[in-house]
Amino acid sequence: MQLDTLKRAKDFSSIGYKVFHSEEIYDRERSHIFSGNLWNYVCLDVELAEPGSFITTYIGDIPVLVNRTMDGQLKAFENRCQHRGTKLRREARGKETTHTCVYHQWCYNLDGGLVGIPFARGKDGKGGLPPEFDRSSIKLREMKLATIHGVVFGSFGDDPPKLEDYLGPRVVELIGNLFYKPVKVLGYQRQRILGNWKLYNENVRDTNHGGLLHMFHATFGLARLSQEGGARLDGATRGHNTSYTTYGTDNESQRKDGYSQTKKVMQETFKLADPSILHFERELPGEESLVILSTFPNGVFQQISNSLCTRQIRPRGVDEMELYWTYYGFVDDTPEMAEHRRNQANLVGPGGLVSMEDGEAVQLVHEETKASPEAASRIIIGGLGEIKDSESLVTEMPLRGFWATYFKAMDL
Ligand code: FES
Ligand SMILES: [Fe+2]
C-alpha cells in the first residue's frame, strides 16, 4: 500500500477508512505524531507532589515514566530499560529515590542516569562488562515537558514549538479556567475501547452526536442540540477543539422542532427519582455548564456541570485504545461539593450515563469499516470549505480540524 493513496477530500470533509486500519500508517504515527514536534497531554503536576514521586503513562503506545527529582523538577523518560528493553516501572504511581529494572537490576537515578549494575566486574576477574563500557553514556530516553496551569504536556520531538503557541491563547485561557485554583485528584478510571484511537478523537470533537447518541444527555438536558452552544477551533490547523453548551438555554418549541425527527433520543416523560446528579453549581470563571476541550493528539479536559476530569487517549495498536480518566476537584471544596463531584463522576467513564455509548459507537465504526478500507466517511454537517468556529452544536467542523492537523503532522 502506498501512503499517498490515502483517500480524502481537500477540505477534509471525507476521509478514507483505510486510515483506521493500516499498520503502515500506525507505524508512521509513532514517529510523526507521538515522537513528533508537538505536545501530548501527560498528567497533572499535582500527581507528583513530592521529590521522588513518579507516575507511569503512555504517549501513543510508548511507555513513559514521569518523576519529580530531589531538587523538585519534573522529568519524563521512555519507561524502558536501556539494557534489553524491559519496562522499567510497572506501578501506576509511587515514590522512590531510584528506579531499578526487575530483569537484571540495572538502576537509574531520577535524572535518568544509569547508576548501578550488579556484578559489573563479574566474579574473580571473569565475566562482567567489557572494559570499554562507559556507564555514564547510558541514559533513559528523555521527553521534554512543559506545564500550563498545572497541566503537564510532553514532547519527544527535537524541536517542538512553545507550548503556549502550540495550543493558542484561547486554549491556554480555558485551561486556566478549568484549573483556576489548586486542585486535588479524586480518582481514576481506565477503559479499553476496541477501535482505532483516531475514532475517539473524532467522537470527542463531534458536538453533533452529544444530544443524539446519548439519551441521558438529551432527555435530562445536560446537552441538547436545541441549546445555545458551539465549537471553538484552535491551533495552526484547528486541531484543538472546545465544544460548549449551557444547561437550560432551550425551550419546548426548539426541542420539539429538532427532536420530533427521532422518536428514541429524547423522552419527555422520563423522570429521575433523584435528580441530584443533574445539579449544576456555577463555580468556574466561564459561563458554560458543559465544556469539552480536546487537544491534538491525545488530551481531553472536561467540565460537565460540576464533574471535572481529564482524559488521555492511549493507542494500543491499530484496533484498540485505552482511555485514562483522571477526576479532580479543588483543594478547598466543601464536603458537600466533594460528595456532589463523586456523585457526578457517574456521568462519565466506562459506565458513565453520558459517555458509555461513545466506546460502543467507536467500536461499531471500527468493526464495520474494516472490510471496506476504500470507502470513505462524510463529514459535512456544519458546512464545507473553510474550517472555522461554529455557533451551533449541529456541526462536525471540529473533526475536519482534527484531520487537517493529523495529515499535516503525518506529512501526507
Ligand atoms: S533489561 Fe533491564 S536490567 Fe536487563
Ligand atoms: Fe459522546
pLDDT (0 to 100) of residue 2? 54
169 and 122 housed in the same domain? no
Residue 5 pLDDT: 66
Kindly report the average pLDDT of the chain as a whole number. Answer: 94
| C-beta contacts of 280-283 below 8 A and 24+ residues apart | 280/247, 280/305, 280/306, 281/305, 281/306, 281/337, 281/340
User: Is the pLDDT confidence value at 380 over 70?
Assistant: yes
Res. 234: pLDDT tops 80 = yes
CB 43 within 8 A of CB 57: yes
CATH of the domain at 184: 3.90.380.10
Closest ligand to residue 208's CA: 2
pLDDT in tens, 314-370: 999 999 999 999 999 999 999 999 999 999 999 998 889 999 999 999 999 999 999
Query: Cα of 170 to ligand 2 centre, how many Å?
Result: 23
pLDDT, mean of residues 195-223? 92
- pTM, rounded to two decimals: 0.96
Q: Tens of pLDDT along 27-57?
A: 999 999 999 999 999 999 999 999 999 999 9
Q: In what order do the strands lie in the sheet with 62-68?
A: 40-44, 151-155, 142-148, 74-78, 62-68, 53-59, 93-95
Which amino acid is it at 267? Answer: Q
Q: At 31, which amino acid appears?
A: S
Domain co-membership, 139 together with 184:
no
Nearest to 71, CA basis, from 114, 111, 116: 111
Last residue of a domain, one of 116, 146, 176: 146
The better pLDDT of the pair 167, 220 is held by 167
Kindly state the DSSP code that residue 162 receives in the 8-state scheme: P
Query: Which residues lie closer than 8 Å to 85 by C-beta, 6 or more apart?
Result: none
Domain membership of residue 158 (yes or no) is no
Average pLDDT over residues 183-196: 97
Look at residue 3 and tell me whether its pLDDT is greater than 70: no
**7 within domain boundaries:** no
The pocket around ligand 1, CB under 6 angstroms, is made up of: 81, 83-84, 86, 101, 103-106
The pLDDT of 238-262, averaged and rounded, is 87
Task: Clarify whether residues 323 and 352 are in a common domain.
Answer: yes
Mean pLDDT of 303-320: 97
Cβ atoms within 10 Å of 165's Cβ, excluding its own: 12
Q: Which of 83, 129, 141 to mutate to test the pocket of ligand 1 (most atoms within 8 A of CB)?
A: 83
Give the count of alpha carbons within 13 A of 23, CB side only. 0
The residues with which 15 forms a beta bridge, in sequence order, are 8
The percentage of residues in the chain with a pLDDT greater than 90, rounded to a whole number, is 85
Taking the CA of residue 81 as reference, the ligand 1 atom at the shortest distance is 2
Residue 159 domain-assigned?
no
CATH number at residue 140: 2.102.10.10
Domain shared by 213 and 83, yes or no: no
Same-domain pairing of 195 and 103: no
Tell me if 265 sits within 8 A of 259, measured CB to CB. yes
Longest distance between any two alpha carbons in the chain, whole Å: 89
Angle CA 290–34–358, to nearest 5: 35
Q: Are residues 250 and 185 in the same domain?
A: yes
Considering its fold, how many domains does the chain have in total?
A: 2
Residue 127 alpha carbon to ligand 1 centre in Å: 17
Contacts of residue 20, Cβ cutoff 8 Å, sequence gap at least 6: 195, 196, 198, 199, 318, 365, 366, 369
Q: How far apart are CA 148 and CA 45, in angstroms?
A: 9
The confidence score (pLDDT) of residue 246 equals 87
Q: How confident is the model at residue 256 (pLDDT cuts 50, 70, 90)?
A: confident
- What does the pLDDT look like over 100-134, one tens digit per residue? 999 999 999 999 999 999 999 999 989 999 999 99
Residue 61 CA, ligand 1 centroid: distance in Å:
20
- Whole-angstrom distance, CA of residue 302 vs CA of residue 294: 9
Q: Is residue 1's pLDDT more than 70?
A: no
198 and 70 housed in the same domain = no
Domain that holds residue 80: 43-146
- Which residue's alpha carbon is at the smallest distance from atom 1 of ligand 1? 84
| Burial class of 137 by CB neighbour count within 10 A (0 to 12, 13 to 18, 19+) | exposed
Same domain for 288 and 201, yes or no, is yes
User: Residue 269: pLDDT band by 50, 70, 90 thresholds?
Assistant: confident
Q: What is the mean pLDDT of residues 193-212?
A: 96
Strand, coil or helix: 410: helix
SS3 28: helix
- Quote the CA–CA distance of 227 and 288 in Å, as a whole number: 11
| Domain shared by 172 and 296, yes or no | yes
The bound ligand whose nearest atom lies closest to the alpha carbon of 356 is: 2
Q: What is the pLDDT of residue 91?
A: 98
